[in-house]
Amino acid sequence: MSSENNNNNNTATNGISKEEVALYDRQIRLWGMEAQARLRQSSIKVIGVKALTLEVCKNLVLAGLGSITIQDSTPINEIDFETQYYFHEADLGQPKDVVLAERLRILNPLVNIQTGEGRSEDTTYDLVVKIGTGIGGDSLEVNGKCRKRGERFIAADSFGLFGYIFIDCLDAHEYIEEEKPKDDNAVVKRISLTASYKPLADSLTSKPGVANLNRLVRKFPPLVFVCQTLSTISQLEDIKSAEVLAEAVRRSIEGRGIPDGVVDDVLFGRVVQSLGTEFVPCASVVGGTLAQEILKVITRKDMPMNNWYTYDAIKADAITCQL
Amino acid sequence: MRTNSQISALFGPDTATRLATARILVVGAGGIGCELLKNLSVSGFHHIHAIDLDTIDLSNLNRQFLFQRKHIKKPKAHVATAAIKAFNPSLDTSAMQANIKEEQFDVDWFSQFALVFNALDNLEARRHVNAMCLATRVPLVESGTAGYLGQVTVIKGGETECFDCHPKPAEKRSFPVCTIRSTPTAPIHCIVWAKNYLFVQLFGEPPEEEREVVEEVEAGQEEELKALKEESGALAALSEAMGSGDFAQRIFNKVFCHDIGRLLSMSDMWAQRQPPRVLDYDELEHQACDPPADHSNLSMAQAFILFRESCHTLARRRLEGSPLAFDKDDQDTLDFVTATASLRSYVFFIDQKSPFEVKAMAGNIIPAIATTNAIVAGMMVTQGVLALAGRLDECHTAYLSYNTKRPRCVIRESLSKPSLLCPVCRRRYLTLRLADPAKTVLGDLLDYISCLEGDMSLGMSRDNISVVEGSRLLYDPDYDSNCSRSMQDLCLVPGKMVTFANEDDSDVVPVILSIARPLTKERGGLDILIEGFEYIPEYIPLPQQSLKEECSATAVDNNSIEFGKRSIDDVNEVFESPSKKHAFD
C-alpha cells in the first residue's frame, strides 16, 4: 500500500474528490488509488436482467464504476419478485432496465446509469457483459460484434444451483501484477504482463487435447461442457429433460476429441432441475466473482480468468479452466 | 406469506417448509451481514432476527449496501432489517442494537433459533456464540472476510469441529519493549510507540505496567528497563504542565531530544545500528511548509506543526474532561499519533508512512469490498440450507483464494469431526434451572450432582469436583467456603456458564452447566433441575464405559497422536466402538 501520488497536494487525488476518497476508503486501501481512478473513468454495458444482473450491478455500482448501461426492456413479472429483490409489487409490468437503474442510482448517486440500447455508434464500451441467453440475441453474434469494435466481452449466467462466466479480453490484454512485499518497508514490485483470450466461437469448438477421461476431468470440470452448450441456447425452456440436455451436450462436444460420458447422468439431472430457476445465494457467489473479474478487466490490475469459470453451489466447486 | 416456489423445486418441499418456519439469527449486520440478510430474504426463509451493536458510518457504504448516506449514525441491525423487508414484505423480521455477549442472550434465548449465522469481526464474540451454539445444539454457520479473502464453515456441536477445536493465532501483534522504546527499525514500531506509549502517558489512562503490546524482557536488560521506567515517570510528571503554553515544546524536547541523547550515550547499542539523531525545536519552528496531504509523506516541518497543534488541542481536551482514548476516527488523536510517529521515524532514519497509511496501521483497518462479502454470504446461506435440511455431510469448510494460478477459486473440505482435545466442545453441555437462586446454595447443587445415577451420572462428587465460572474458582475439594453461599450471591445467574470437572479422573468429561431461566411452579415443586442428558455427542465416552474396547485402526485422529496425551487405543475406541449408541437414541 505505498503512496502512489507523492506530488499531488490538492484535495483531489487522481481526479477523485475528497468525498469519494472517504466513501471508497476501504477499497482504495485494497486496490489502490490508481485502480480506483481507472474504475471511475470506465463505461460498461450489461445485457439481460436477472438475479445475477442485480448482484453484479450492485457490486460494480458500490465500487464506483463510471457508467453502466443496462439493456433489458422485458416487463417485470410476478415470478421476478421471488428472487430479483430490487423489484417491488408496484413495479409490475415496468421495464426491468428502467426500474433497476432507478434502484441502483439510490445505491450510489455518483455512478452514471443508463438504460436501453444506450450509445451511439461511435462510442465503445470498455466491456460488454451478457447475462443469460434470453436477452440481446445470440451470444456468439454479440461477441463477434464486440470483437469488431475492439470491445471486451463476458457471457455469464446463474441458474438454480449453478453458474458460469466466460471471458474474452481480446488478443492482447495488458495488465499489472504486484509482487507482495515481504515486509511493510519493501517497495511493491509491479510487473507488466500480457494475456491472450479467444472469442466464444473458437472456445466452443476448441479441442482440450486430453483423450483420457480421468485426466480430462481433473483439468476440466464436466460442468463446463454443459455450460458451453447452454451458452448458445436462447430458449432454455426447450430443454425439458435430462435426455434432451444430454443430446445437446453430445452434439456440442462432437468432433472435439472429448470422450463421451464426460458428463454423467447425475449432473444432467441436477442441471435440468436448476434450469429456469434462480437461487440468490448462488447468484451472489457468481455475481461477486464476476464483478471481481470485471474490476480486473477495467483496472488492468491482475489477470482476468482465462477463460471459463463454473460454479456448483452444492459441491462448492468454483473452478476455472481454459477452453 | 409469499412463498418461494423455486426453493421447493431445488431442495424439495420438506426443506422449503423447514426454511419457512425456522427462526434464524444473524449476528452482525455489517459487511457480511448485509449480504447475508439480502440472501436470506429471498431464499425461502421467513423469520429473521438480526443483532448488531454498531451504527452506520460513511466508510461502510462502499459495501454495506443496505445502508445509504441518510442512515449514517443509525443502528445497523434496524436499518438492515427494514431494507430487506422492502425486498420481501412478507418477512417476519426483528432487530436489536446490542452486544451478543450480554447476559440477556442466555441459553433459553438462543434455543429459540434453528440456525445461527455469524457475521462478526472479532474473535471474542465468535468464541462466545460458538459456546452458546454448542450449549443449545443449534447449528452455526461461521464466516470471516478480509480484502479478497474469506472463509465459511458449519459448526454443529457434537458432530463437527467447533470454533475452538484448533487454536487460533492471537489477534494482536506484540513487540519487545526495547524495540518500541529504544531501537525501532520499522514504521510500525514508531506508530506503536506513539499510540500505546506517548499518547497514553500524556492524555490517556496509563496501565500499571506496560503490558499491552510488549513481550517479556530478556535477562540482562533489567537495567535498560529500569531506565525506561524512569523515562515514563518523567513523562507522566511533565503532563502536569499540560496547561502551560509551552507544553508541546516541553514534550518535544523530552522525547525527541533528551531521551534520544540518553540513548546515544549508550554507545554499545549503536555499534551495529544506525544511531538516532536529536531534533531541534527552534529550528523546526522557523521552517515554512505547505499543508499536509493525506497520501503524501509528511516533511519534518509538516510533522512538527501537526504535532504542536494536536498536542495543544489534546491538552485542552484532557484538561476539560477525563482521560482520552485513541480512536482512528477521532482526528485529533489520529493527528497526534501520525505526527509523533513521523517525527520518531525521522529521529531513527526510518521510512515515512503517509497519514493515509498510518490511519490503517494505528487503527487496524482491514480493507474491505462488497464482492468478497457477497461470495462468502452466498456460500453461507447455501450451507445453512443444507444444515437445516439435515444434509450436514454435504456441507464444507470453504476458503476463497484470489489470483491463484490453480483451477480452484475455492478450496473446500468436508467438515471434520470434533477434536478430542478441544477445551470447548469436548464437554457435556447441560442446563441448570433453579426455583429460587437466593435460597439454593452451592452445596445443594454439589449434592444434587453427586447423587445423579445411572444414565444421568456425571461421574463427579463433592470429594473430586472443581467448579469454575469465568476466571473464578468457586469450589474444589480444598476450598469449600462457598458451599453455604447462595447461587445468587455467587452471581450464578442466567447467562453464566459454569464448568464442573472431576479433578481426580481426567477421563471424565467436564460438564458445562449453562444457567438458564428459573423453574416455574409447573415443574412439580423442584428446587433444582438439570436438563440436557438426552443429548450425548457420539464421541464422548460415558463415565461407566470401559476405555479398552477393540476397534479398527483406520479412524485415527491425527490431532490426538500429535499431542500424545491419549494412547492410541483410547483414540480408536472413541471413533469406532459400536456400543457408543446411547440408550436414548
CATH number at residue A12: 3.40.50.720
**Which pLDDT belongs to residue A143?**
97
Q: 143-182 in A: which are within 8 Å (CB) of B?
A: 160-161, 177
- Examine the domain organization and report whether A134 and A257 are in the same domain: no
| DSSP H helix total and E strand total for chain B | 20, 14
| A279/B7 CB distance under 8 A | yes
Residue A53 lies in a domain: yes
User: What residues of B act catalytically?
Assistant: 178
Query: Are A226 and A314 in a shared domain?
Result: no
Min Cα separation A120/chain B (Å) = 31
In a domain, A24, yes or no: yes
Whether residues A32 and A79 share a domain: the answer is: yes
**pLDDT tier, A183 (very low <50, low <70, confident <90, very high otherwise):** low
User: Which CA distances in Å does B8 have to A87, B42, B380?
Assistant: 22, 13, 19
pLDDT score recorded for residue B577: 27
Cβ within 8 Å of A, B 346-365: 351, 354, 356-357, 360-361, 365
Task: Verify that A112 and A52 share a domain, yes or no.
Answer: yes
Residue A186 maps to a domain: no
Q: Which residue of B has its CA nearest to A271?
A: B10
Residues 6+ apart with CB under 8 A from B529: B432, B433, B434, B519, B523
Residue A313 lies in a domain: yes
A287 and A260 in one domain?
Answer: no
Tell whether A193 is covered by a domain.
no
Q: A174 and A302: one domain?
A: yes
- What global pTM score does this model have? 0.88
Whether residue A35 is found in the same domain as residue A142: yes
From A283, which residue of chain B is nearest by alpha-carbon distance?
B378
Structural domain contains residue A264:
yes
Q: Which chain A residues contact residue B290 at CB under 8 A?
A: 9
Residues of A in contact with B375 (CB under 8 A): 284-285, 288-289
Considering the domain architecture, whether residues A19 and A168 belong to the same structural domain is answered as yes
Phi, psi for residue B444 in degrees, rounded to 5:
-60, -45
Residue ending a domain, among A242, A258, A274, is A274
Residue B244 CB neighbour total at 10 angstroms: 11
Determine the longest span between alpha carbons in chain B, in angstroms. 86
Question: B49-67 burial, b for 16+ CB within 10 Å, e for fewer?
Answer: bbbbbbbbeebbbbbbbbb
Tell me, letter by letter, the H, E, C secondary structure of chain A: CCCCCCCCCCCCECCECHHHHHHCHHHHHHHHHHHHHHHHCCEEEEECCCHHHHHHHHHHHHHCCCEEEEECCCECCCCHHHHCCCCCHHHCCCEHHHHHHHHHHHHCCCCEEEECCCCCCCCCCCEEEEECCCCCCCHHHHHHHHHHCCCEEEEEEEECCEEEEEEECCCCEEEEEEECCCCCCCCCEEEEEEECCCCHHHHHCCCCCCCCHHHHHHHCCHHHHHHHHHCCCCCHHHCCCHHHHHHHHHHHHCCCCCCCCCCCHHHHHHHHHHCCCCCHHHHHHHHHHHHHHHHHHHHCECCCCCCEEEEECCCCEEEEECC
Please, which residues 288-307 of chain B have a Cβ atom closer than 8 Å to chain A?
A: 290-291, 293-297
The residue-averaged pLDDT of A273-300 equals 97
Q: Within a domain: residue A194?
A: no
Please calculate the CA angle B229-B233-B234 and round it to the nearest 5 degrees: 120
Q: Is residue A168 one of the residues assigned to a domain? A: yes
| Cβ(B36)–Cβ(B43) below 8 Å | no
Divide the 585 residues of chain B into consecutive groups of 10 and give the mean pLDDT of each group.
79 96 98 98 97 96 97 98 96 97 93 97 94 95 96 94 85 83 94 95 75 49 78 83 88 95 89 93 90 93 96 93 92 97 97 95 94 98 97 96 90 92 88 92 94 88 92 92 94 91 88 90 80 74 38 29 28 29 26
Residues B330 and B323: their CA atoms lie apart, in Å, by 14
B287 C-beta neighbours (distance < 10 Å), count: 12
Residue with cell 462448492: A316
Please give the residue that has the higher pLDDT: either A251 or B207. Answer: A251
CB B519 within 8 A of CB B435: yes
What pLDDT score was predicted for residue B561? 26
Record: contact B378-A283, CB cut-off 8 A = yes
CB-CB contact of A284 with B34 (8 Å): no
Q: Measured between CB atoms, which of A22, A59, A160 is closest to B59?
A: A22
Identify all chain B residues contacting A40, using CB atoms and an 8 Å cutoff.
Answer: none
Q: For the residues A120-133, what does the mean pLDDT come to?
A: 88
| pLDDT for residue B60 | 95
Do A238 and A305 share a domain, yes or no?
no
Strand ranges for B44-184 from DSSP E: 47-51, 92-96, 115-118, 140-146, 149-155
Q: Please list every residue in chain B whose beta carbon sits closer than 8 Å to the beta carbon of residue A85.
A: 38, 41-42, 87-88
Q: For residue B75, give the DSSP letter.
A: B
ipTM here: 0.95
Burial class (CB in 10 A: 0-12, 13-18, 19+), B518: middle
- Say how many CB pairs under 8 Å bridge A and B: 200
Contact A185 B42 (CB under 8 A): no
Please answer whether residues B142 and B152 qualify as being in contact, where contact means their C-beta atoms are separated by less than 8 angstroms.
yes
Cell 468525498, residue located: A19
Q: What is the pLDDT of residue B288?
A: 86
Q: How many domains does chain A have?
A: 2
Question: Which residues in chain A touch residue B403, judged by CB atoms under 8 angstroms apart?
Answer: 177, 302-303
> Angle of helix B370-388 relative to helix B13-21, nearest 10 degrees?
110
A283 lies in the same domain as A150: yes
Does residue A138 sit in the same domain as residue A261? no
For residue B421, the model assigns a pLDDT of: 82
Instruction: Give the range of the structural domain holding residue A132, as residue numbers without chain letter.
Output: 3-179+279-321
List, as ranges, residues 194-233 from A with C-beta within 8 Å of B.
219, 221
Same domain, A134 and A259: no
Does position A310 have pLDDT exceeding 90, yes or no? yes
CB contact under 8 Å between B371 and A288, yes or no, is: yes
Residues A61, A62, A68: CA angle, nearest 5 degrees: 10
